[in-house]
Each structure stands twice: as C-alpha cells, then as structure tokens.
A and B are shown apart, each in its own frame.
Chain A
Amino acid sequence: MVEILEETKGKDGRKILKVAKENLIALLSELKSQGYNHLSLITGVDRKDRLEVVYHLHNMAENKYIVVKTETFDERVPSATSLFSSANWDEREQYDLMGIVFEGHPNLKRMFLPENWVGHPLRKNYDLSKVQYINMDENGEDYATFDPGDGW
C-alpha cells in the first residue's frame, strides 16, 4: 500500500490523491492494476515556489475518475511512460511549455517549440517582452533566434 499524503475532493466532485513524487510510479501502477487503464491528461501547474504535476486517470470499464497529484521542488518527476503510452506526448508537451524534466522518458524533446528556444512559456516568470523568431536551417531543422532580421 502506497502512503497517501492527503485525500480531498475537487469542486467537481472528483477524488484527489496527493503523493510524494518518490511514491508516484508505485501509486500509478497500483491504480492501473485496479482498472484505471486510461491516462487522460498530465498537467503541470507552476505554484511559483514549486511545480505541481496533476494526473487524470480514468477507469474505462467501471467509468470512474481519479486525480493524482504530486509536487516537485527541483523540476524533476519520474516518467510514467513505462505504464501508459499516452504519457509520452503529454510529458514532452509539459517539458516543452512548463519545463518539467521527466526522468526516464525515452525521447524527451520539445513538442511544439524549436530545440533551442529560451525559457518555458507557461512558467509564471517567463519574460513575454522578449520576442523570439523562428527560422529553418539547411537541414530542415527549426531554430529560434532573437534577431528579427533572421526570422521570417
């Protein structure tokens, strides 16, 4: 049995379980064996001093929903790709936009933005005043630059 730090209910009536990030994979695999086979959504929330990662799990057969929450102070969370294939693209997206590093992910590249983009846009301290432009190099790879003359 995995140690649950806190059990609450959201405004929409869904059960929310809070765990330490060391116990996250153990809890997810226990839930998967109980029939929660559909990992619907992975969300990163920037709480300024820490990053919160929220997992929405769905039990297709019994039509039950559960929310698992964990938090991290060093931007690192274990990856759930070994349990759910749908975690692959979701974790890449959260890495791209929120800057959460999922340890153990097989292919942790940026999903939407070019590889050398500076910063993670969904962070609260992201500087929106600095404009970055995108261009393509000779090999067909996108790159980001601060020089307006270089972009399209």
Chain B
Amino acid sequence: MNAPQSIPENAKWVELNFGPQHPSTHGVLRLRAKLEGEIVRELEPIIGYLHRNAEKICELDYYCDAMIYFDRMDYVGAMNMEVGYLEAAEKLLGIPPPERAQWIRVIMAELNRIASHLVWAGAFGLDIGMLTPFFYCFVEREKILRIFAEACGSRQETNYMSIGGVYQDFNEKIIYMIEEFINQFPKKLEDIFNAFVKNDIFISRNKGIGILEPEVAIDYGVTGPMLRASGVEYDVRKAEPYLVYDKLNFDIPVSYKKDNLARFLVRFEEMRQSIKILKQAIKKIPDGPYFNPKAKKSLMIRLRGEGEVYARTESSKGEFGVYLVGDGGVKPYRVRVRSPTFKNLSVLPVLAKDQMIADMIAISGTIDLVFGEVDR
C-alpha cells in the first residue's frame, strides 16, 4: 500500500472513493466523487460487483429453468420478477395461464410490492439516521413473508410461479392470512408514515433536495415511482395492462414536487393503492384450474419457442422489461432484461451534482437500489 499523500495547498478538489462495502450504499455500489469542500462536483458510479450474467445463464438452460435466476435479480421483489419473465415466456411459447392463476399472480405481485417498499422505507430511514422505523417496517414485511412461506414454502426467493400457472393453489388458510393482513395493515402503515413525516429533521433533509426534472428523467429512461414523483403519470399497469389489472380499480399516485420527499410520498401512496387492489382481488378471485394442462411438468423441458417477444411489467422499482428471442429450440436464443434500477441509477450523477455529500446519500437512498437487479 502507498502511504497517504498530503493534500497540496492549491488543490481544487479531493477525490473520494465510496464503497463498495459501505453500509449506506444498499449493497455493492461504488462511487468515485470529486469533492470541493463538502460539495460533490463530479460523480462516477462503478458497478458490476454482483454481476453474474444471468442473461447468459438463461441461454444455457431450458425455458422453465430461467425462473430462479429471475428470482435472484430483484431479491426483495421476487414475485414481480417472475411475473415479468412469464409475461414474455408465455407469449413466446403460446401457453396462456388460466383465469385463477392470473388473479393469484396479481395478489402475490401486489403483496410483494408492499414488502419491497417496506424494505426501502426502513433502509432509507437508516440512511439518514432514523433507526426506529426500520423495525416497524420489518415486522410488517415479516407477515407478508409468512404468507409466501405458506403458499410456496419459501420466504424471499419464492420460485412460486411457473410457465402456465402457479406452483400451488391457494388454500383456505392463505386466503385467511391475506385477509387478516389487509385488515390490520392500513393502520400500521399510518403509524410508520407518521414516524417519518412528523420528524422535522426528516422533512428538512428531504424537502427540496434532489430535484429531478421530468424531461431529464425521460431522457435518462427513469421509470417507476421516481418518474411519477417528477410529475409524469406513467404506470405500465395502466398504460399496457397485463394479467387482470384492467379489471381492477386503482389510481396512479403522482407528485409534482420532484424532490426526495415526493419520491417518499409516492411510494407510501402506492402501498395504499396496493391494499386497495388486494381488497378487490381477494373478493373477485374465481374458482377453476390454477395450471394450464398444456404445460405439464413432464413436458416442461420440451417446450419450444420461436420468434421474439418484448413484455413489460411494472415491478416495485419501475418498468421491468424482458426481451426473449427463440430459434425454435428448447432453450432461449437470447434473453435480455431491462432492469429499472439500472436506468434509475444512471441519473444519479446528474442529481448529485453540486449537492452536499450528505445529501448525495439521501438521494441515492430514494432511488431504491437493489444490486441483484442493477448488475444482474
């Protein structure tokens, strides 16, 4: 190791390395910042520390095997990733899921959206020095993970959905657990919400910080809650409805304030809308088969797909797209993933320019980074 060099007197800026093993970078983000005093003048994100090349691994496997690699992309929102992959794979293979399976998928995706936002809220609190809300968030998330464990035996990387339907049907107990959850959650959510917004330090650290103009956001490909907090009303669930989202009544939360606080408020409002969706879905869920008989487990590895399909879905982070190319064989020819956080992270150098370094942490906290998905 070289001895640390003293800073020359006429130096204009200091180069600071930040991460990849830093507690407030949400995983393995590494930043190189040029600082002038405490002001960030230039920022370069360096990523790839969790890179596994899932796209290549998927090419080497059968269509049904790719599921587990999608689970491990956004590992706090695994159900949303499964929905995204299956939207593309089922169109390519020509195996539509039955009605009941679609409703089950919507319920699971919305539960996971709440769980993902709760993880974000807790971790964001930690970023700016609030320890208490973290525990309240994780108590609620634990209840959702218990529902997942009941449905598929696994808590986080669920591998619950499969081509043509879902792995197991809902039983009485799961329905009861979900009903119990949606009855008690809104009150708990307000408690968590108040723990944040009734704190003056929280407000003063987030109000007016990290302004993202809508034109810049669209130019950089930012989607999801970040784009909606900049005043653009765009949600794939409304713009191009998939599954049964067109039969459900819900609103898209939009804020025109464009700052950190707006992104916080949009995510909390999304959780309230998810509860609204769940309340309708649990009543409307029809009887019937939960699995398409064309995709029997013994036939799974003989499925062949030809052509190309691009499917986009709304994950908890933004627009999640899967581009599948098949050449008529049993394995996909090319799998390409549009991960929302990869695009959302690319705007960080613009957002953090000329901000204090402490604000840069708060801004990168509101992006909702999950590195399994950025690096894939």
Within 8 A of A (CB), among B36-63: 47-48, 51, 53, 55-56, 59
Q: Find out whether the CB atom of B55 lies under 8 angstroms from the CB atom of A97.
A: yes
0 or 1 for each of A37-65: is its CB under 8 Å from B? (1 = yes): 11111010110000000101000100101
Across-interface contacts of A84 in B (CB, < 8 A): 219, 221
Across-interface contacts of B55 in A (CB, < 8 A): 97, 122
Q: Find out whether the CB atom of B220 lies under 8 angstroms from the CB atom of A56.
A: no
Within 8 A of A (CB), among B1-49: 1-2, 17, 47-48
Alpha-carbon distance A89/B346, docked complex (angstroms): 7
Q: Given known contacts A10-B307, A11-B309, is B336 in contact with A88 (CB within 8 Å)?
A: no
Alpha-carbon distance A14/B239, docked complex (angstroms): 15
Q: Find out whether the CB atom of A40 lies under 8 angstroms from the CB atom of B218.
A: no
Q: Find out whether the CB atom of A56 lies under 8 angstroms from the CB atom of B321.
A: yes
Does more than half of chain B's interface fall in helix, strand or loop, or is it mixed?
A: mixed
Across-interface contacts of B240 in A (CB, < 8 A): 63, 65
Judge whether B319 is part of the interface by a CB distance below 8 angstroms: yes
Q: How far is the CB of A132 from chain B (nearest CB, A)?
A: 12
Q: How far is the CB of A31 from chain B (nearest CB, A)?
A: 14
Judge whether A23 is part of the interface by a CB distance below 8 angstroms: no
0 or 1 for each of B232-267: is its CB under 8 Å from A? (1 = yes): 101000011000000000000000000000000000
Q: How far is the CB of B347 from chain A (nearest CB, A)?
A: 8
Judge whether A149 is part of the interface by a CB distance below 8 angstroms: no
Across-interface contacts of B17 in A (CB, < 8 A): 140
Within 8 A of B (CB), among A1-50: 10-12, 14, 37-41, 43, 45-46
- The interface centre, meaning the residue of B48, B59, B343 with most chain A CB atoms within 10 A of its CB, is B48
Interface size counted on chain B using CB atoms at 8 A = 39
Interface residues on A, range: 20 to 34
Q: Find out whether the CB atom of B221 lies under 8 angstroms from the CB atom of A12.
A: no
Q: Find out whether the CB atom of A86 lies under 8 angstroms from the CB atom of B307.
A: no
Judge whether B342 is part of the interface by a CB distance below 8 angstroms: yes
Chain A residues packing against B (C-beta within 8 Å): 10-12, 14, 37-41, 43, 45-46, 54, 56, 60, 63, 65, 67, 84-86, 88-89, 93, 97, 111-113, 121-122, 138, 140
Q: Report, nearest first, the 4 A-B pairs whose CB atoms are least far apart.
A: A86-B221, A112-B48, A112-B51, A11-B307
Contacts A41-B336, A65-B240, A112-B375 supplied; 7 other A-B pairs, CB < 8 Å: A38-B218, A39-B221, A40-B321, A40-B338, A54-B323, A67-B310, A89-B343
